Amino acid sequence: MFLLLALLGAPSLAAADSNFKRINPPGPYAVGLRVVEQYDFARGYRGATDPLTGKPVTGERARPIQTLIWYPAAKGSGRGVTVEDYVKLGATADDFERPPAERAALEAKFVRARVAVLSPERAKAELAAPMRARRDATAAAGKFPVVIYAPSFNAEAYENADLCEYLASQGYLVIASPSFGQASRGMTTELEGVETQVGDIEFLIGYAHGLPQADMSRLAVAGYSWGGLANVMAAAKDSRIGALVALDGSVRYWPETIKQSRFLTPARVTAPMLYVAAAPKPVEEQAVDVNKDTSFLAKMKYADLYKVTLYPYVHSNFSVMFDQRLAAEYGDYDKDELSVANGWVETYVRRFLDAYLKGDAAGRAFLDTPVAKTGAPRHLLALDVAKAQGAPPTQAAFAAELNRVGFDKAQATYQAFRSRDGDFAIDETEMNRWGYQLLGNGDTRAAVAILKLNQELHADSWNASDSLGEAYAAAGDKTRAIAAYRQSLVLNPKNTNGVTQLKALGATP
């Protein structure tokens, strides 16, 4: 009995009545919860007229961002939070202007709808179950790594409140907002929808910069399902994101959306990723467009990838609040087995974040430990590890390598990048622009090297030769400048700039 209480963190009687059991004890910090109702004024949300009634819309039309912040807190402060307190937040998640009485009525209606499938006794027990967070508790001293949590398709910000609380107790600042569409609560399954959620992640990163507890040099983004596509897209745009957690993320299931985005490529995702997957489906149930050839995970080469497969879990189980705490049925595994599985989800997420955000050697060693030696129940999960294969073949990485080996080795370095990844390329226009930027910065030697490479790669381009001539002239290499300008005229006799520059150099066209 004593061992059970220790494992469950000595729950109260109300928590024991809940079907969900916390397996992992909390970390050293108490957990605070703050709810902020704010707007992203850079983006619109409501149109000029209501799409249902046709009436003019009144009030704020900017994008509402209901922001939940879980943070390390001082013990003994704040007021307790129950499951019902979280569920109520969904009632006005995109409508902050309701008067108190109207808001209370909406909250009661929203809660009733959420537990309608449960018996009255079960609903009462689940809603009354105490959570770890304490509302508006005093913040603990210090700065902590930041984790942005992106919920699943059309889900509330608190869908994985248990995980967010657990991470806060372990010394993380966790921030989440709901998954709503571009112009309404309804998320949409196309590029616009996921990019809307990317925008929410970006907004929360900006907001986190103003929080006294936030250490923005240590930043991760976690996401479940649809949020597990949005967070990877965000990382492709923002190299400050140092780690990714995907709970059965849609980056695995929506290859066409990834293709449409154009910018989401393996070369642009260098943040290490923990991908926690549901049990594999039978071959007959797999979508025809989801396979090894289309899988983004299979193509990841430039980031450490840890893939944990949980055999008791189906996709929906990753939403602990709705599919475990407030679920009427549990599928092939019972509630206790799912609680144990969730405990291991928390363990792997914490160890992963500890390893990559806190530089924790024990966390890194745990990730590399065979499952049989972790203490996990037999046949609960499987672990596959794929380590990064060097620097990604991007222009930024190419520039960094040239800075290391010397710009005079541009041709050999470019070919080495191409041999590692046949898709690597810098088009003529971009390379020309790069050369001129170096020239403008006064780095003529590097400018000559880049524009010479551009001319070698595009030998049939008169403009590449013309630009190289300008670089040689700036470097004081008159002979080569003349040769480059004359080559540009061979390719384009109408190049009046080439004629003018040759005359300025004292040479005949």
- Report pLDDT digits (tens) over 245-256: 999 999 999 999
Q: Which of 276, 245, 283 is nearest to 167 (CA)?
A: 245
Domain ranges of the chain: 2-50+58-386, 395-504
- In terms of Cβ atoms closer than 10 Å to its own Cβ (0-12, 13-18, 19+), residue 330 is middle
Residue 11 scores a pLDDT above 80: no
Same fold, 2-50+58-386 and 395-504: no
Q: What is the pLDDT of residue 199?
A: 98
Q: What is the pLDDT of residue 285?
A: 62
Q: What is the pLDDT of residue 289?
A: 65
Class of domain 395-504 as given by CATH: mainly alpha
- Report pLDDT digits (tens) over 201-255: 999 999 999 999 999 999 999 999 999 999 999 999 999 999 999 999 999 999 9
CA trace torsion 156, 161, 167, 169 (10° rounding): 140
Q: What is the pLDDT of residue 286?
A: 66
Q: Which of 392, 367, 40, 384 is nearest to 236 (CA)?
A: 392
Q: What is the pLDDT of residue 288?
A: 61
- Report pLDDT digits (tens) over 375-429: 999 889 999 999 998 878 889 889 999 999 999 999 999 999 998 888 889 999 9
* Residue type at position 378: R
CA trace torsion 339, 344, 346, 351 (10° rounding): 170
- Report pLDDT digits (tens) over 276-304: 999 987 655 666 666 777 899 999 989 99
CATH superfamily, with its number, for domain 2-50+58-386: Alpha/Beta hydrolase fold, catalytic domain (3.40.50.1820)
* Residue type at position 91: A
Q: Give the residue, 302 or 17, on which the prediction is more confident.
A: 302
* Rg of the chain in Å (alpha carbons): 28
- Report pLDDT digits (tens) over 310-337: 999 999 999 999 999 998 888 888 999 9
For 231-236, the CB contacts below 8 A with 24+ separation are 231/148, 231/150, 231/201, 232/264, 232/269, 232/273, 232/296, 233/194, 233/195, 233/198, 233/261, 233/263, 233/264, 234/150, 234/198, 234/201, 234/202, 235/269, 235/271, 236/263, 236/264, 236/265, 236/268, 236/269
- In terms of Cβ atoms closer than 10 Å to its own Cβ (0-12, 13-18, 19+), residue 372 is exposed
Strands 381-386 and 305-310: antiparallel
3-state helix/strand/coil string of 50-105: CCCCCCECCCCCEEEEEEEEEEEECCCCCEEEEHHHHHHCCCCCCCCCCCHHHHHH
Q: What is the pLDDT of residue 17?
A: 75
How many angstroms from the chain centroid is the CA of residue 467? 40
- Report pLDDT digits (tens) over 62-93: 999 999 999 999 999 999 999 999 999 999 99
Mean pLDDT of the chain: 92
Q: What is the pLDDT of residue 280?
A: 85
- Report pLDDT digits (tens) over 155-211: 999 999 999 999 999 999 999 999 999 999 999 999 999 999 999 999 999 999 999
Q: pLDDT band at residue 5, thresholds of 50, 70 and 90? A: very low
Mean of pLDDT values over 108-131? 95
